[in-house]
Every structure is written in C-alpha cells, then in structure tokens.
Amino acid sequence: MNAMELIRRRRSVRTFDGQPLRQEDKEKILRFAETVETPYGLPIVWKLMSAKENGLSSPVIVGTDTWIAGKIKRQPHAEEAFGFAFEKLVLYAESLGIGTTWIAGTMNRPAFEKAMTLEADEVMPCVSPLGYPAEKMSIRETLMRKGVRADSRMDFSALFFDRRFDRPLPEDAPCRDALEMVRWAPSAVNKQPWRVVVDGRQAHFYEKKSKGYQDAAGWDLQKVDMGIALCHYACGLEGKVRLTVSDPGIPLPEDTVYIATMTAE
Ligand SMILES: Cc1cc2nc3c(=O)[nH]c(=O)nc-3n(C[C@H](O)[C@H](O)[C@H](O)COP(=O)(O)O)c2cc1C
C-alpha cells in the first residue's frame, strides 16, 4: 500500500482489541522510529513503554498496554520536526495494521515524562498507544469523534491559495493530490491550522493560529500539526520535494505565520 492510501485509511484508534502488541511488531516499529529522518535534521529519542510497568494511562484509550513516545531538545523547529517524524511513524504503523492516536493532552503526562526520563531542555510533545484496533469503537470514542467532527475536514478552497491569500487555488492545480493529503492530516482537536499558498513548484506553508495552543515559553502545539501537514505533502509528492525556510513575504491574513516552503523537484 502506498503512502497516499495509508493517509486516506488512517484514523485515530482509541479502542483496541486487548491483544498484546506482538514482539515482531514492537521490533519493526522501534527499528523504523530509530531511522526516521526529518527535513530539519533534528534527532528524536524514541521509547516503547508498557502502561502497566510505568503507571501510564489515558482516559480515552482502552484495550492496549503498549505506548510509544518521543522526546526532542527544545530548539527552533522542534515542533515541526517532531510532527513530521511522528506522523511517518504513525503511517508506518498503519501499514502494519497497528492503530495509533496522537495524544498531547488526554494522558497522565507526568508519568509519561518520568518514563521518558525527560530533561529540562527536552520536550515530549505527544505519545501514542499502539495496538490492534477493536472491531467496535467504545461509546466514548464515538462521541469524541462526533465532538471534533473527526471524519470531516475543511474545504480545499478554504485552505489552499494561488500566489496570494485572496485567491483560492483552482481544484485542477498540478499539486492537487499532494494538497488533498495535507487536507486529510490529523491535527489537535481537528483544528486544521495549515494554509498553503502555491506559486509554481513552490508551496508556502503557513499556520493559522488558534487561541490556547502556545504556552508562555513559546512552545506551540499547532506547529506539530504543521509538521504533520509537511509530512503528508512530502508523501503526496513521493518524497521528491525539498524543504526550505525562507519567508516569501506574501501579505498575511490575521493570526497567520509563515512556517516553511516545499519545492517540488
Ligand atoms: C498534535 C495532536 C494532538 C492530539 N491530542 C489528542 C489528545 O490529547 N487526545 C485525543 O483523544 N486525541 C488527540 N488528537 C487526535 C485528534 O483529535 C484527531 O487526529 C482529529 O480529531 C482527527 O481525527 P482522525 O485522527 O481520526 O482523523 C491529537 C492529534 C494531534 C495531531
């Protein structure tokens, strides 16, 4: 199955079937995580953890004991790099039939951070359960999905623009399929903060900021979403794309900031 099929098939899985994750699947996931690269070149430390052994829990996850988490040094672009790498891992898990859910909030964070031996200059943005999806979702999961309209996304015309923010991109643009992959990316509370201005082979990515996702130290969870969007765009172009950070100076709508440019090769 190619990356685009995996992107369309993936959904957050919060109800697992109770079977332990097979040893060979654990090994595959860890091996993949340790080789995953981001276009920012920032290293991430990964760990697979047992909930029982480490006192980990999440009120929204049932039916699996295995979790994966990553930590990264606090530094410019750490959020985007983490989002990019973790989403690659999520899609790889999907290819093995293993369910995941990005979790930044609904967990006992201190227990996870202790299990990750998090240092003061590091951050553990998100974690995910790993397991085999149950046939039926729990009632809580069904309600949660409804609450954030998890099965839908904003319209193409509200997200993607032609050289300027006041011109929606025609739906027959050459990079349409890759942008469609961006549109279906997962994001915190399904806010979909990505906006993209296309100019020839260049796609300029912007974050439309919502209130409450950036802390006093400047850490911004929606930049993790942006990393996921960049990952999906790269998947849509089969990796034949180069990332640069060089603001083209396009006039911006309110609460919108430049993140990166992807140039098709
Ligand atoms: C950065 C990030 C953080 C998230 N944090 C949580 C969380 O704390 N708890 C949760 O249940 N889901 C969390 N989610 C999952 C989103 O709610 C979910 O991806 C979104 O609603 C779209 O649904 P889908 O993943 O099924 O397509 C998070 C997703 C992302 C990308």
- Three-state SS string over the chain comes to CCHHHHHHHCCCCCEECCCCCCHHHHHHHHHHHHHCCCCCCCCCEEEEEEHHHHCCCCCCCECCCEEEEEEEECCCCHHHHHHHHHHHHHHHHHHCCCECCCECCCCCHHHHHHHCCCCCCEECCCEEEEECECCCCCHHHHHHHHHCCCCCCCCHHHHEEECCCCCECCCCCCCHHHHHHHHCCCCHHHCCCEEEEEECCEEEEEEECCCCCECCCCCEHHHHHHHHHHHHHHHHCCCCEEEECCCCCCCCCCCEEEEEEEEEC
Give yes or no for residue 108 having a pLDDT over 80. yes
CB of 126 sitting under 6 A from ligand 1: yes
Of 56, 103, 213, the one to substitute when testing ligand 1's pocket (max ligand atoms within 8 A of C-beta) is: 103
Give yes or no for residue 217 having a pLDDT over 90. no
| 74 and 219 Cβ atoms separated by less than 8 Å | yes
Instruction: Quote the CA–CA distance of 230 and 134 in Å, as a whole number.
Output: 30
User: What is the pLDDT averaged over residues 105-112?
Assistant: 97
Proportion of the chain above pLDDT 90, given as a percent: 95
How far is CA 78 from its chain centroid? 13
Predicted local confidence at residue 109, as pLDDT: 97
User: What is the pLDDT averaged over residues 127-137?
Assistant: 97
**Architecture of the domain whose range is 156-264:** 3-Layer(aba) Sandwich (3.40)
**Residue range 56-80, pLDDT digits in tens:** 999 999 999 999 999 999 999 999 9
Proportion of the chain above pLDDT 70, given as a percent: 100
Closest residue by Cα to residue 93 from 152, 150, 16, 146: 16
pTM: 0.98
Residue 205: what are its φ and ψ, rounded to 5°? -95, 135
On the question of a common fold for 3-139 and 156-264, the answer reads yes
Classify residue 93 by burial, with Cβ atoms within 10 Å: 0-12, 13-18, 19+.
Answer: buried
Predicted local confidence at residue 254, as pLDDT: 96
CB of 187 sitting under 6 A from ligand 1: yes
CATH class of 3-139: alpha beta
User: What is the pLDDT averaged over residues 126-141?
Assistant: 97
Give yes or no for residue 181 having a pLDDT over 90. yes
User: What is the pLDDT averaged over residues 134-162?
Assistant: 96
Spell out the domain ranges in the chain: 3-139, 156-264
Instruction: Quote the CA–CA distance of 74 and 83 in Å, as a whole number.
Output: 14
**Regarding predicted confidence, which is higher, 84 or 171?**
84
Give yes or no for residue 168 having a pLDDT over 90. yes
Model confidence at 208, pLDDT cuts 50, 70, 90, reads: very high
Predicted local confidence at residue 1, as pLDDT: 74
CB of 15 sitting under 6 A from ligand 1: no
Model confidence at 40, pLDDT cuts 50, 70, 90, reads: very high
**Residue range 109-121, pLDDT digits in tens:** 999 999 999 999 9
Strand-strand pairing, 194-199 and 160-162 = parallel
CA of 144 to the centre of ligand 1 (A): 10
